[in-house]
Amino acid sequence: MNMNDYMTESEEYVLHTYNRFPVVLEKGEGVHLYDTDGKEYLDFAAGIAVFALGYNYPGYNDALKNQIDNIVHTSNLYYNIPMAEAAKKVVTASGMSKVFFTNSGTEAIEGAIKVARKYAYNKDGHTDHEIIAMNHSFHGRSVGALSVTGNPHYQEAFKPLMGGVKFADFNDLDSVKAQVNDKTCAIILEPVQGEGGIYPATMEFLQGLRDICDEKDILLIFDEIQCGMGRTGKLFAWQHYGIQPDVMTCAKALGCGVPVGAFVLNEKAAANSLVPGDHGTTYGGNPLACAAVSKVFDLFEEAKLLEHVNAVTPYFEKKLDELVDKYDFITARRGKGFMQGLVVSGRPVGDIVKKALANGLVIISAGSDVLRLVPPLIITEQNIDQMVKLLEKSLDE
């Protein structure tokens, strides 16, 4: 079969919920992808911030193959070794207390919502609690996650959603304070908004939220699904600010390609929320997924990946700033570390993404006017130079 045959077959049998680009990717190596025709692509999207280690990273595949030969699934009726090892590494790295493994970031958000509601229910026995979320946020596509996603376009066809959700403006503390009342049980946000346009939170905003939550005994939930796992130069983006949440969600690069997520709780939230019977999932804590998580933490440390991100980030930012200076329709750069966005004015971002793909560069968009660059964390300055060359070619065309 050729590439067109594969695309035709997919459209015949797969529910059409994605407008996919006309390419069939077959394999990857390092920071490059290859389609079924053998064409090479420089990957600055990393499967939407998933493949932090790139493709075929030494040791990663072997760890998964070894686990497959041992045991792939047990269910949560029993303990398994990779779950214990992965849990210790997640909790130690975050400085928090307990972790619950899920199958995705969306499921991690669902769990975090349940933690907040159960925490509040244990305090007063009421079930009418409210959550404050942020406009332009993105937390997932299930009903609960969609309910706290601040984008009406995603919500319209699926209402009524989960009740008791109010929205405030990101980086506007007064707008949050205006929504807080005696029913508020949680405030949820991304420390760096992803889909909303690559907006980092300010120190004043996060500190103000932490103060509100401490004063009112409200749980602060940070969604680190995209901005976590080293992407900003810290293992978790909130560590830049020194402001720890009560609950944290993570996924994407947590497994570097294996579908896995988690929500992590501090001692207060863990001791006063979910108990046996409150929450569960057949595949959560799956030995194969947790073997990936455990190995990812090992490889991050062995490769000194955080140090690498921090060392290369100034060059990455410099080259992107030069694009802002060169093209009048690129008006700004935003981001932290290897989570960067270029703001485009007057040109369809989607057209630039398509042209870049045709020229062998994989990038994606964020919102309606931002080119999003979230490459594997192993990129070099040479890879950045190649990216700039391909992107300039695409912009010029």
Alpha carbon 134 to its chain centroid, in Å, reads 16
Flag whether 211 is in a domain.
yes
Tens of pLDDT along 306-318? 999 999 999 999 9
- Residues 75 and 194 placed together within one structural domain of the fold: yes
Residue 61 lies in a domain: no
Q: Is 223 within the bounds of a domain?
A: yes
- For the beta sheet containing 184-189, the strands, ordered from the edge strand earlier in sequence to the opposite edge, are 98-102, 261-265, 247-250, 219-223, 184-189, 130-134, 165-168
**pLDDT band at 1; cut points 50, 70, 90:** confident
CA atoms within 13 A on the CB side of 6: 13
Average pLDDT for the chain: 97
Measured over all CA atoms, what is the biggest interatomic distance in the chain, rounded to whole angstroms? Answer: 62
- Angle 84-258-145 (CA atoms, 0-180°, nearest 5)? 90
Residue 223: which of 258, 187, 197 has the closest Cα? 187
The CATH number covering residue 232 comes to 3.40.640.10
Q: Looking at the domain assignment, is residue 386 inside a domain?
A: yes
Query: Is residue 279 domain-shared with residue 349, that is, in the same domain?
Result: no
CA distances from 323 to 197, 357, 377 (A): 18, 18, 21
- 100 and 52 inside one domain: no
The answer to whether 150 and 136 are in contact (CB under 8 A) is: yes
Average pLDDT score over residue span 36-42 = 97
CA distance 330 to 319: 13
Residues 19, 144 share a domain: no
Q: Is 222 in the same domain as 359?
A: no
Residue 145 pLDDT class (50, 70, 90 cuts): very high
> Are 192 and 157 a contacting pair, CB within 8 Å?
no
Verify that 145 and 224 share a domain, yes or no.
yes
Side chain identity at 273, as an amino acid letter? S
With the CA atoms of 26, 32, 38 and 39 taken in that order, what torsion angle do they form, in degrees rounded to the nearest 10?
Answer: 120
- What is the predicted pLDDT for the residue at 362? 98
Confidence of residue 255 (pLDDT cuts 50, 70, 90): very high
Pair (264, 391) in one structural domain: no
289 and 266 in a common domain: yes
Q: Which of 270, 302, 334 is the last residue of a domain?
A: 302
Total number of domains constituting the chain: 2
Instruction: Give me the CATH number covering residue 365.
Output: 3.90.1150.10
| Dihedral angle, C-alpha 237, 137, 338, 342, nearest 10 ° | -140
Q: Is residue 63 one of the residues assigned to a domain?
A: no
Please give the residue range of the domain that contains residue 190: 71-302
Segment 287-299 mean pLDDT: 98
Task: Compute the average pLDDT of residues 53-64.
Answer: 97
Query: 296 and 319: one domain?
Result: no
Q: Looking at the structure, do residues 292 and 311 belong to the same domain, yes or no?
A: no
Q: What share of the chain is helix, strand, coil (3-state, %, to 5)?
A: 40, 20, 40
Name the band, by pLDDT with cuts 50, 70 and 90, for residue 98.
Answer: very high
Q: What is the mean pLDDT of residues 5-26?
A: 95
pLDDT tens readout for residues 16-25: 999 999 999 9
Better-scored residue on pLDDT, 216 or 368:
216
The pLDDT-based confidence of 126 (bands split at 50, 70, 90) is very high
Q: How far apart are CA 58 and CA 50, in angstroms?
A: 17
For residue 144, give the amino acid letter. G
98-to-24, 106, 291, 300 alpha-carbon distances in Å: 40, 19, 18, 21
Residues 282 and 310 in one domain: no
Q: What tokens were used for 288?
A: 């194969």
Q: How far apart are CA 340 and CA 330, in angstroms?
A: 13
Is the residue at 197 inside a domain?
Answer: yes
Q: What does the pLDDT look like over 113-123, one tens digit per residue?
A: 999 999 999 99
Whether 51 and 176 share a structural domain: no
Percent of the chain past pLDDT 70, that is, above it, reads 100
Q: Does residue 254 fall inside a structural domain?
A: yes
Please tell me the total number of residues recorded for the chain in this structure.
Answer: 397
Please state, in angstroms and rounded to a whole number, the distance separating the CA atoms of residues 57 and 31.
10
Task: Identify the domain boundary among 302, 331, 352.
Answer: 302
How much is the pLDDT for 308? Answer: 98
Pick from 302, 322, 344: which residue ends a domain?
A: 302
Nearest-angstrom CA–CA distance, 331 and 324: 6
Residue 65 lies in a domain: no
